[in-house]
Amino acid sequence: VMGSPDVAKRIQFQAPVTDEQREKYLALWQELKVNVK
- What are 8-37's pLDDT values in tens digits? 666 655 567 788 888 998 899 888 888 877
Radius of gyration of the chain (CA): 11
Please give the model's pTM, rounded to 2 decimal places: 0.44
Domain that holds residue 32: 5-36
| 8 in Cβ contact with 2 (< 8 Å) | yes
- Measured CA to CA in angstroms, residue 15 lies from 2, 12, 31 at distances of 18, 9, 25
Write the CB contacts of 1 (distance below 8 Å, at least 6 apart in sequence): 7
Domain count along the chain: 1
What's the pLDDT at 12? 58
The pLDDT of residue 4 is above 60? yes
